[in-house]
């Protein structure tokens, strides 16, 4: 590890932090330390970082804005990569949006609306980065990323930068090929359409108001914990199973929205995982439905 750090410093890749606690970098505010947290300055430095990690046979994990992510209490071994502000770029060319992987997905919807561009209204309240949204095929209100993404620029674990078209990403419900093909989304290109600014603003406002009314967004959480089973809703099943408000440690199944688990103070990853297991077990016993987590669980427990 010392030689890796020395090589990273020699390459001047950017900020390098050792034994850095990851909880502050996640929306759940949960997570132990990373052996290394690396924040590369730009695309070239990111590629150099990945190549050096490969050379030193060091595993790495990418975190975006830390939503939809549960990090184990013992943290992550190897390296954790977080994109710098250099990846928060945005430009519009007509009806096409070119967006950096670290750009806020919510902010993108606002900026597109100001341009009079429609197609992103569904994402008005989806937290996280653009890269994470591309990775997860984020969606809501009957639409998702797969419907508007033209292509994504992806840095592979070899350090090679490639362009993946929509079809290359093999999109499905909350899934893309990136789940099995290690890579980092550095830029996304979305195809939008000009629309009525007032209608766009109204739709965004309605989606935001609904989320604020029905979701515990003022508390530390990670968005929906489970995928919706086909023809049903995870929140409905968990609520009908009588689990709303159930607490383990300082984690609780939200009384406001049963598909959210909130950190009420100093919840551990183990607290959250225990609630996830309880919800899965109870819903399976009562309704015969297997709930599948939507959040990514990484690191050591």
Condensed to tens digits (0 to 9), the pLDDT of residues 121-160 reads: 998 878 889 999 999 999 888 899 999 999 999 999 999 9
Q: What is the average pLDDT across 81-106?
A: 97
Predicted confidence at residue 127, as pLDDT, reads 84
Predicted confidence at residue 141, as pLDDT, reads 81
- Examine the residue annotation and report whether 224 is marked as an active-site residue of this protein: yes
Predicted confidence at residue 37, as pLDDT, reads 98
Predicted confidence at residue 33, as pLDDT, reads 98
pLDDT at residue 1 is higher than 90: no
* Catalytic residue of the set 20, 153, 187, 294: 294
Q: Is the dihedral of CA 103, 109, 115, 118 positive or negative?
A: positive
* Catalytic residue of the set 146, 176, 224, 254: 224
pLDDT at residue 211 is higher than 90: no
> For residue 262, what pLDDT band results from cuts at 50, 70 and 90?
very high
* Catalytic residue of the set 129, 174, 187, 254: 174
Nearest to 111 by CA among 98, 102, 101: 98
Phi, psi for residue 262 in degrees, rounded to 5 = -110, 150
pTM for this model (two decimals): 0.92
- Examine the residue annotation and report whether 187 is marked as an active-site residue of this protein: no
- Examine the residue annotation and report whether 268 is marked as an active-site residue of this protein: no
Q: What is the average pLDDT across 237-246?
A: 98
Count the helices and strands in the chain (H runs, E runs): 7, 18
> For residue 164, what pLDDT band results from cuts at 50, 70 and 90?
very high
Q: What is the average pLDDT across 59-75?
A: 95
């Amino acid at each position: 590890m010392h030689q890796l750090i020395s090589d990273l410093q020699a390459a001047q890749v950017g900020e390098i932090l050792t034994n850095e606690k990851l909880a502050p970098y996640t929306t759940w505010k949960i997570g132990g330390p990373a052996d290394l947290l690396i924040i590369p300055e730009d695309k070239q430095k990111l590629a150099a970082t990945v190549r050096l990690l490969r050379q030193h046979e060091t595993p790495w994990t990418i975190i975006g804005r830390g939503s939809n992510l549960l990090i184990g209490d013992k943290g992550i071994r190897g390296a954790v990569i977080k994109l710098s502000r250099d990846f928060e770029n945005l430009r519009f060319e007509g009806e096409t949006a070119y967006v950096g992987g670290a750009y806020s997905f919510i902010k993108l919807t606002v900026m597109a609306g100001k341009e009079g561009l429609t197609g992103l209204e569904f994402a008005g309240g989806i937290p996280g980065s653009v890269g994470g949204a591309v990775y997860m095929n984020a969606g809501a209100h009957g639409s998702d990323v797969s419907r508007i993404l033209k292509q994504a620029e992806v840095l592979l674990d070899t350090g090679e930068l490639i362009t993946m078209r929509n079809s290359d990403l093999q999109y499905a419900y909350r899934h893309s090929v990136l789940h099995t093909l290690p890579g980092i989304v550095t830029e996304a290109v979305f195809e939008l359409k000009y629309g009525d600014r007032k209608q766009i603003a109204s739709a965004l406002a309605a989606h935001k108001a609904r989320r604020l009314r029905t979701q515990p967004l003022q508390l530390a959480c990670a968005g929906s914990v489970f995928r919706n089973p086909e023809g049903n809703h995870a929140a409905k099943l968990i609520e009908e199973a009588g689990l709303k408000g159930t607490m383990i440690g300082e984690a609780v199944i939200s009384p406001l929205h049963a598909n959210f688990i909130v950190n009420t103070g100093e919840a551990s990853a183990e607290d959250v995982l225990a609630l996830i297991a309880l919800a899965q077990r109870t819903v399976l016993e009562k309704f015969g439905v297997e709930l599948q987590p939507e959040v990514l669980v990484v690191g050591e427990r």
